[in-house]
Structure 1
Amino acid sequence: MSVRIGLTGDVMLGRLVDERQRQRPVTAVWGDLLGRLASLDGLFVNLECCLSTRGRPWRRTPHAFHFRADPAWALPALERAGVDCCALANNHVLDFEEPALLDTLDWLTDSGIAYAGAGRTRHAAFRPTTVAVDGVTVAFVSLTDNTPEYAATATTPGTAHVEIDTASDQTRAAVAETLARAQATDPDLLIASLHWGPNMVEKPPPAHRAFARWLVDAGVDIVHGHSAHVFQGIEVYDGRPILYDTGDFVDDYAVDGRLRNDRSFLFEVGVSDAGTPRELRLSPTEIRDCAVHAADPVTVQWSRERMESLSAPFGTAFERDGPGLVVGLGQ
């Protein structure tokens, strides 16, 4: 495997994480994983907050939580971890209204961190981005079915919002256009990052399975799902990994004692020089003190067994390698 591409679940740097980070080194949010993250050839995350000190909490519709991180520490933290690209199509990027969203776009641009899934107009929000990863050109698309009131319009900023429904002509047209724009860049690898479905759901619904397979049939190489706050099973379809939900990577959320939303993985895809996925490696992680850490032995055992159980219905079988899990992708 010549290129290692890392993917994570939600990276929420606001609220208590933001408060803690103001009193400690910027890299503390990555716990003992900083070296591992920085060693990857590429790193793609769902940024579950806005980066700004401006704006006011969204009150136009009911919205219980508002996440905003100070870019003075958050941007250096993202840079030090080697984050190459952020998915912004989610239900928190407009939490502090348009000024904070626009700040987020500008700060990421100024820092050289690519993004997709939000923009100043609908056309911009649906625009794919491309990232050069150690000689492999990666095209990245970000979409969400969450919070339709955050959707960008022809003249207003917002997210790339779609309904997850392959029977919808509107959805198929919007997604097909976005994928065509991505494929026009002649990428070696195409990632579709989806913030989809409700919170604390353990298994993907049939609509998600159908949509993910439709994306692979349309040329997507990696489906990167998130939103549930808990990891879901993994399917390998036509040699392509479908990560239905990658859970939470770092946040300050209350922990469900059964679902354990503080536990997930760093998902690492090994790809060939030509950009073909060859192997998927999962390294167990856990959140403590508003930071992400390599999982302790008890958590490793729980997370591996749970991922194996959740993935079995898809026919996915893992090998154990140290604390992690590995599955070959064939081809």
Structure 2
Amino acid sequence: MANQRLVQLLSLSFISGCFCIGIGMGFFIRQGQWQVSEASNIETETEFYLVAESEPLPETKKTVLDTVTIKAVGDIIPGTNFPDYRLPTSPDKLLPKSVRGYLQGADIVMGNLESTFTNHPHTPKNISRGQVFAFRSPPSYTSLFAEVGFNVFHIANNHAMDFGPVGFADTVKNLTDVGIKTLGHKDQILYLEANNMAIAMIGFAPYGMYNSIHDLAAAQALVTEAKKNADIVIVSMHAGAEGTAALHVRNQTEFFYSENRGNSIQFARKVIDAGADLVVGHGPHVPRAMEMYQGKLIAYSLGNFIGYRTLSTKAQTAYSMILEVKLNSQGELVGGRIIPIHINNQGIPEIDQYFRTVGLLRYLNKNDHLLGPIEFNQQGEIVLVKADSNN
């Protein structure tokens, strides 16, 4: 197995020269250097949900040499026109061309949508209360995300129902119309096919109207079922506390404004025990450490990706990434990297030539005391280190 070797560099075929900037710049972060600020102001209440299911794909011929490439990003709010107007002059401004290029060349491009695509005028939320937000983005914006390569959006979170069942149904329909699948429906296993492989995806959140991260037995049962019908199982989890005070992932239940956001480490490891090959996390609005558990990659939080005039860009809330992972038909990690992103003060992602997210993850992975912490070289490529060689 790959994780039985002392040190093994896993890399993908990178675009020539794209990461030359920063080599030798020394992106090491010393313990205690990071500043901790107040948690970001993000909505926390629960919502109601609708049910959707998918059918497994027929078995296809495959070899161990077949691979699938996944690119994943974190939280996305492409501006809002409610209750006031906070939209760009053109939706194209939300994704600069330099960033779009790095979203290409993948079989699955996924993100966590923390808004709605609807014109419905009414929200069930009392937005006059502090820290309560309702986000509504124009339905036409879905075309932008489809054009740049997104084909899966996780929607099991605390903003999916910002405009009630009507707004939720509109969001699902508008995404479906442009070819983007929605992930996180109750009891849903989303089946896709790429490179002669069947891929199953399951989304989870801290709420019972979705697949709940609190119900470990049900979560494991879904993953076990998915593994029977697919070569690769990908789990997307919305979990954990929020803001720069929540940079470190801990093996304990996390709360945000008294809301139980689950134990991310316990949940992620349990679904891998049940057969998951990759776990991707989002929701804390900051990047978090990554680890290898039972030979499988867990990314505990990818941070923000787009938060046009809605999400905080202070300190590490502006540190972001595109996580690129390559798995073979046995679900084994054969390559990976992070493409560092920095979010400007308007909430727009830009390629980070200073590799700040790489430095942050090197620091977090060194100090969060995970079972199989992951190292990154200065270009953001994943380096696997034998677990018992760590302090």
State TM-score, norm by structure 2. Answer: 0.70
- 1:162 to 1:139, Cα distance in 2 relative to 1, 3 A: same
For 2:239 and 2:159, the matched residues in 1 are separated by: 13
Report the 3-state secondary structure (helix = DSSP H, G, I; strand = E; otherwise coil) of the residue aligned with 2:134: coil
For 1:292 and 1:250, the matched residues in 2 are separated by: 6
For 1:142 and 1:126, the matched residues in 2 are separated by: 9
Contact 1:236 1:329 in 2 (8 A): no
| Structure 2 residue corresponding to 1:76, chosen from 128, 138, 143 | 143
Determine which structure has the larger helix proportion and give its number: 1
The match for 1:310 is 364
Give the letter for the 1:241 counterpart.
L
Once the two structures are TM-superposed, the CA of residue 266 in structure 1 deviates from its matched residue by 0.7
The match for 2:212 is 162
1:88 maps to 2:155: yes
Give the letter for the 2:101 counterpart.
G
For 1:218 and 1:143, the matched residues in 2 are separated by: 15
Q: Which structure is larger by alpha-carbon Rg, 1 or 2?
A: 2
Contact 2:375 2:385 in 1 (8 A): no
Give the letter for the 1:127 counterpart.
Q
| Structure 1 residue corresponding to 2:233, chosen from 190, 199, 203 | 190
For 1:101 and 1:68, the matched residues in 2 are separated by: 11
- 1:16 to 1:203, Cα distance in 2 relative to 1, 3 A: farther
For 2:312 and 2:235, the matched residues in 1 are separated by: 29
Contact 2:280 2:300 in 1 (8 A): yes
Once the two structures are TM-superposed, the CA of residue 204 in structure 1 deviates from its matched residue by 1.8
Identity rate, percent: 23
Contact 1:241 1:280 in 2 (8 A): no
For 2:385 and 2:164, the matched residues in 1 are separated by: 41
Give the letter for the 2:212 counterpart.
V
The match for 1:134 is 195
Once the two structures are TM-superposed, the CA of residue 274 in structure 1 deviates from its matched residue by 4.5
Unmatched tracts of structure 1, length 5 or more: 119-124, 153-159, 165-170
**Deviation by residue 1:261-308 (Cα, 9 ceiling, x = unmatched):** 0111110101224543222211110112332111132xx1x3222211
Instruction: Out of 63-72 and 238-247, give the one that drifted further.
Output: 63-72
Report the 3-state secondary structure (helix = DSSP H, G, I; strand = E; otherwise coil) of the residue aligned with 2:177: helix
The match for 2:71 is 6
Contact 1:90 1:195 in 2 (8 A): yes
The match for 1:209 is 265
Contact 1:279 1:329 in 2 (8 A): no
Report the 3-state secondary structure (helix = DSSP H, G, I; strand = E; otherwise coil) of the residue aligned with 1:99: helix
| Structure 2 residue corresponding to 1:33, chosen from 82, 99, 103 | 99
**Deviation by residue 1:74-105 (Cα, 9 ceiling, x = unmatched):** 21111112111111111111011111001111
Report the 3-state secondary structure (helix = DSSP H, G, I; strand = E; otherwise coil) of the residue aligned with 1:215: helix
Give the letter for the 1:10 counterpart.
D
1:222 maps to 2:222: no
Matches within 5 A, 1:162-311: 162-164=212-214, 171-184=215-228, 186-200=229-243, 201-206=246-251, 207-252=263-308, 253-257=311-315, 260-288=316-344, 289-297=346-354, 300=355, 302-311=356-365
Report the 3-state secondary structure (helix = DSSP H, G, I; strand = E; otherwise coil) of the residue aligned with 2:317: coil
For 1:95 and 1:291, the matched residues in 2 are separated by: 22
Higher-RCO chain (CA-CA 8 Å, sequence separation at least 6): 2
- 1:266 to 1:180, Cα distance in 2 relative to 1, 3 A: same
- 1:263 to 1:57, Cα distance in 2 relative to 1, 3 A: same
Report the 3-state secondary structure (helix = DSSP H, G, I; strand = E; otherwise coil) of the residue aligned with 2:72: strand
For 1:307 and 1:78, the matched residues in 2 are separated by: 27
Contact 2:250 2:265 in 1 (8 A): yes
Once the two structures are TM-superposed, the CA of residue 163 in structure 1 deviates from its matched residue by 4.7
Once the two structures are TM-superposed, the CA of residue 317 in structure 1 deviates from its matched residue by 4.2
| Structure 2 residue corresponding to 1:108, chosen from 175, 180, 185 | 175
For 1:255 and 1:56, the matched residues in 2 are separated by: 28
The alignment of Structure 1 onto Structure 2 pairs a total of residues equal to: 297
For 2:382 and 2:283, the matched residues in 1 are separated by: 23
Report the 3-state secondary structure (helix = DSSP H, G, I; strand = E; otherwise coil) of the residue aligned with 2:95: helix
Contact 1:278 1:329 in 2 (8 A): no
Unmatched tracts of structure 2, length 5 or more: 1-11, 13-66, 252-262, 387-391
Report the 3-state secondary structure (helix = DSSP H, G, I; strand = E; otherwise coil) of the residue aligned with 1:69: coil
For 1:40 and 1:28, the matched residues in 2 are separated by: 22
**Deviation by residue 1:1-28 (Cα, 9 ceiling, x = unmatched):** 643210111111232798434x22x433
For 1:317 and 1:222, the matched residues in 2 are separated by: 14
State TM-score, norm by structure 1. Answer: 0.82
The match for 2:56 is none
The match for 1:157 is none
**RMSD of equivalent CA atoms:** 2.4
The match for 2:254 is none
Determine which structure has the larger strand proportion and give its number: 1
Contact 1:228 1:247 in 2 (8 A): yes
Contact 1:116 1:126 in 2 (8 A): no
Contact 1:48 1:93 in 2 (8 A): yes
Report the 3-state secondary structure (helix = DSSP H, G, I; strand = E; otherwise coil) of the residue aligned with 1:249: strand
